[in-house]
Structure 1
Amino acid sequence: MAATIASSGAAADGARGGVLASPRARFALYLLLGFSAGLPYYIFSTVLSARLTKHGVDLVLIGFFGWVQLLPTFKFAWAPLLDRFAVPGFARFFGKRLGWIILSQIGIVLSMVAMAFTSADTDLPVVALFAVLLAFWTTTLEVSADAWRIELAPTAEMQGPLTAANLWGYRSAMVAAGSGALIVADRSGWTGAYLAIAAGAFVPLPILMSLRRSAEGSGERLVSLATGLLASAVVLAGSLVLVAVAGWLVLSAAAGIGISAKTDATTAVLVLCMLPFVIMALALPRIVNLPATARLRTSTMIGPYVDIFWRFGYRVLPLLGFVTFYRMGDVLTLAMSKPLEIAAHYDLTTMGVADGFVALPSSMAGVAIGALLAVRMKLIRALALGAIGSAIGNWIFVWLWFAPPSPHVIYISTALDQFAHGMEGAIFVVYLSLLVNPKYPGAQYAFLSGFAFLLPRLLAGAGGVMVKHIGFDGFFWLSGALSLAAVVFLPFIANAKPRSDD
């Protein structure tokens, strides 16, 4: 794969106006970038929930750990910085987008190793610290890769293949991490499982680092690389300190107001997380009348997000409602599928086989069909099919819960779930990519995709509480119905088109 990309000049930096030399090279690059982003995701979500369940952690606390997945929802908070700034040294050596990707990959590997050596789960705040860091660096990689993809592929026809490649790599890595970690954990323990996945996460790093060499002399190249490594060390250390301090402040504040492991904090978290979006919606009447020179539209940090509301006007409200519900089923399945399977008396090896040999081909088939539908069919119809498929993918777990434990039951459930959510995800990525203003690719895609997962991940964090009240069957009936509810918004967004700049 590295030869395919490098020989085609794939290291050209899309942010500087360069393009990848061939469609095949772009496809190979995004297969690799999807793998790099997908491998850690299961580790701080589904695999972590299985690990905590096996160690007897209360189901409510496991649900709270699901809120680690909220971090990617707020990637818009730092995405404009990735659009505007570059990693010192790495920018000259690799280019801006690839420089951030390299730094993120280093952060991913180090965070996984740290999670491996805290896998006894005896100190849950420390476990949460490294899970948050892993989520942060995974998200930073995604922001840079998404921005680069939108710059390279501005049309639906170009987005389809890159989206398929990215999701094939992403879901393949998720499946490999999920099944691999569970199978290794069953034989060698959780530390060995996390170290094995960390080794897998390291593999893309030298391949990505081989993509670009600057045109400078060898001495200048070494200076650029050394500067980049030093800057990376500073940023990685700073992020560790920042997250640790922020976590301590949050836990201290929670304890101070009486919030404990038995407290249902869902409502408070929902209000806090929704606040920035509510403020933006309330400001909509003013935003739609702003001139091009208005400070709100030219600001580095909030200008890209104001631009979304300005371009779509009042249609932005049903549009945001639609994206909120569309991925509901996918996220909620990730949060509670493994606790359900363990509660249904499936062993880790059977679960790992289902997540590997069954889920991988099913997911890849779903992604391929979804990308094809997004290109060949009217996009609004493709979105409707994706929502229906997602609902069915969730409801299949109700059958798994009531059926006697059997390999064929979990294999069929996993296959349908992965196919449906792979198809839905591919259609959705193409749709969101076409909503983005090319002037702000990283920031706007981060905002829209982050908002799409806000409510689902909040509900995922409360998944343990919900299961205690309505059972696993009620949880999956509800999650499927919420995903299907996205169809209600389709008539209101079918003709939503952005207006051009002043």
Structure 2
Amino acid sequence: MSDKTPTSELPAPTTAQGATSTASTPTTAKPAWRDVWHVYAEAATLRMLFLGFSAGLPLLLVFGTLSFWLREAGIDRTTIGYLSWVGLAYGFKWVWAPLVDRMPIPLLTRLLGRRRSWLLLSQLVIVAALVGMAMTDPKLALQPVVWCALAVAFGSATQDIALDAYRIESADTQRQAALAAAYQTGYRIAMIWAGAGALWIAARAEVVGDAVTYQHGAWQVAYLAMAASMLLGMATVLLSPEPVPRPLAPSRNAAEWLKTALVDPFADFLRRYGKQALLILALIAVYRISDVVMGIMANPFYVDMGYTKDEVAAVTKIYGVVMTLVGAFVGGALAMRFGVMRVLMLGAVLSAGSNLLFAWLGTRGHDVNALIFVISADNLSSGIASAAFIAYLSSLTNINYSATQYALFSSMMLLLPKFLAGYSGKYVDAFGYSHFFTATALLGLPVLILVGLASRLKTPPGQSE
């Protein structure tokens, strides 16, 4: 979810021809506000809105929404926490990213091109796996649900690889922040649909008058509806143009192909950034740690606090949508106007602070007004942080290795947080929700230090000024 913002603080991506460029020079004039907002009406930006929806839809269906479903089905919190390790598929997507970056799919690549063919294939995998989840009751057989959830995560991670490359290759660097904001907006809308929308559908599908609290049929309808929602992304892929293909040097043998596909993308990053790479990678690894670790227990928290599916869905759908849109577009605009690093710092502060609001919410009992306030603040902060962070990650990539390098960055973003999140249920069982939410907020303190250090980095040697 990528435009380069006017800041001399960031090392820049390469151009489509492979030459490097800085994020800006000290003499670069700030774009006028009219030009900043006009970019959101361009076709490439609107296209990224729909593709962002396709990318964001699967995530909650194997995390937050699934945890609500599992908790309602009587699965204990510790097990739910461990099942979040399904998300480690996102943390290891760099392993197969070189294949997505370079390997053609028989027939499909010839018809659609390299990027769109992988996008469509991954979307088909997601749809099939969501249907599989819908047809299985975790209360009776948990393992099939886990395997289907793993398939959804694998297909979603593969879609992310292809889509990040598609986005980076679809526009010049001056529009990357706008594309990131549009992508993030679509992504967040999809997460709200996969969260609030799925809960709302499940609530509507429940048999009225049935004394049984848990009804698998209601969740089945919800997950089938989510599978059908992937058709929007599939249609967008089929109707979108393929980016101008960059020529790939022919490989004489398997060893040379592996070097080009696996070794060169990582060597390029280390060569361009040198010792600075360690600081950059550390920042990437922990930037979203507060949100990700906290997120697994959010829906079990709502269930245990007595909020109904309708209440959570209504609050998230109305206030969450509005604040997500505001956060994503404000974050993208601020990044273009004032620079990515300043907005990264703002997003880090807001993300940690919103977790403290959840600790406060735990003291309020069943208070819908407090829930509205907390969810609104959380979505606003997340939208701002994500728009800036995606633009930052995009600025680090070399266009010649866009899929592989961005997959490495976005994988690192999730690997440590997802691993720690697996113990979230066990932590809540031992210490309670308020202590847990406070601890996740404190996890954000090292992020502030790393953003401050990263903002001092100079342009890598060898890049043009």
Please give the range of the TM-score, normalised by the shorter of the 2 chains: 0.7 to 0.9
Distance 1:103 1:458, change over 3 A: same
Higher relative contact order (CA 8 A, sep 6+): 2
Determine helix, strand or coil for the equivalent of 1:439. helix
Q: What amino acid sits opposite 2:237 in the alignment?
A: L
1:29 aligns with 2:47: yes
Task: Give the TM-score taking structure 2 as reference length.
Answer: 0.82
Is the 1:30–1:166 contact (alpha carbons within 8 Å) kept by the matching residues of 2? yes
Indicate the residue corresponding to 2:398 in structure 1.
Answer: 437
Indicate the residue corresponding to 1:266 in structure 2.
Answer: none
Determine helix, strand or coil for the equivalent of 2:399. coil
Q: What amino acid sits opposite 1:92 in the alignment?
A: R
Indicate the residue corresponding to 1:267 in structure 2.
Answer: none
TM-aligned CA deviation for residue 108 of structure 1: 1.2
Question: CA separation in 2, counterparts of 1:120 and 1:379?
Answer: 43
Indicate the residue corresponding to 2:459 in structure 1.
Answer: 497
Indicate the residue corresponding to 2:287 in structure 1.
Answer: 326
Task: Give the TM-score taking structure 1 as reference length.
Answer: 0.76
Question: CA separation in 2, counterparts of 1:296 and 1:91?
Answer: 19
Indicate the residue corresponding to 2:267 in structure 1.
Answer: 306
Is the 1:296–1:303 contact (alpha carbons within 8 Å) kept by the matching residues of 2? no
Distance 1:303 1:207, change over 3 A: closer
Mapping for residues 94-133 of structure 1, pairs under 5 Å: 94-133=112-151
CA RMSD of aligned residues (A): 2.4
Determine helix, strand or coil for the equivalent of 2:398. coil
Indicate the residue corresponding to 1:171 in structure 2.
Answer: 188
User: Could you tell me which of 199, 203, 206 is aligned with 1:182?
Assistant: 199
Residues 36-45 or 422-431, more deviating: 36-45
Indicate the residue corresponding to 1:200 in structure 2.
Answer: 229
Is the 2:50–2:232 contact (alpha carbons within 8 Å) kept by the matching residues of 1? no
Indicate the residue corresponding to 2:427 in structure 1.
Answer: 466
User: Could you tell me which of 60, 68, 74 is aligned with 1:42?
Assistant: 60
Distance 1:74 1:499, change over 3 A: farther
Is the 1:315–1:492 contact (alpha carbons within 8 Å) kept by the matching residues of 2? no
Q: What amino acid sits opposite 2:225 in the alignment?
A: A
**Deviation per CA, 1:393-417, whole angstroms, max 9, x where unpaired?**
2111011111131221111110000
User: Could you tell me which of 439, 446, 449 is aligned with 2:410?
Assistant: 449
Q: What amino acid sits opposite 1:192 in the alignment?
A: V
Determine helix, strand or coil for the equivalent of 1:301. helix
TM-aligned CA deviation for residue 100 of structure 1: 0.8
Question: CA separation in 2, counterparts of 1:209 and 1:297?
Answer: 30
Q: What amino acid sits opposite 1:161 in the alignment?
A: A
Distance 1:336 1:172, change over 3 A: same
Gaps of 5+ in 2: 1-14, 19-39, 206-217, 243-254
Indicate the residue corresponding to 2:91 in structure 1.
Answer: 73
Question: CA separation in 1, counterparts of 2:258 and 2:95?
Answer: 16
Indicate the residue corresponding to 1:61 in structure 2.
Answer: 79
Is the 1:366–1:418 contact (alpha carbons within 8 Å) kept by the matching residues of 2? yes
Is the 2:47–2:240 contact (alpha carbons within 8 Å) kept by the matching residues of 1? no
Question: CA separation in 1, counterparts of 2:86 and 2:378?
Answer: 23
Mapping for residues 179-328 of structure 1, pairs under 5 Å: 179-188=196-205, 189-211=218-240, 298-328=259-289
TM-aligned CA deviation for residue 154 of structure 1: 4.3
Question: CA separation in 1, counterparts of 2:111 and 2:16?
Answer: 14
Percent identity over the alignment?
34
Is the 2:162–2:403 contact (alpha carbons within 8 Å) kept by the matching residues of 1? yes
1:338 aligns with 2:292: no
User: Could you tell me which of 106, 111, 123 is aligned with 1:93?
Assistant: 111
Q: What amino acid sits opposite 2:85 in the alignment?
A: W
TM-aligned CA deviation for residue 206 of structure 1: 3.2
Is the 1:15–1:96 contact (alpha carbons within 8 Å) kept by the matching residues of 2? no
TM-aligned CA deviation for residue 38 of structure 1: 1.0
Is the 2:351–2:385 contact (alpha carbons within 8 Å) kept by the matching residues of 1? yes
1:404 aligns with 2:365: yes
More helix by share: 1
Q: What amino acid sits opposite 2:222 in the alignment?
A: A
1:158 aligns with 2:187: no
Question: CA separation in 2, counterparts of 1:55 and 1:134?
Answer: 20
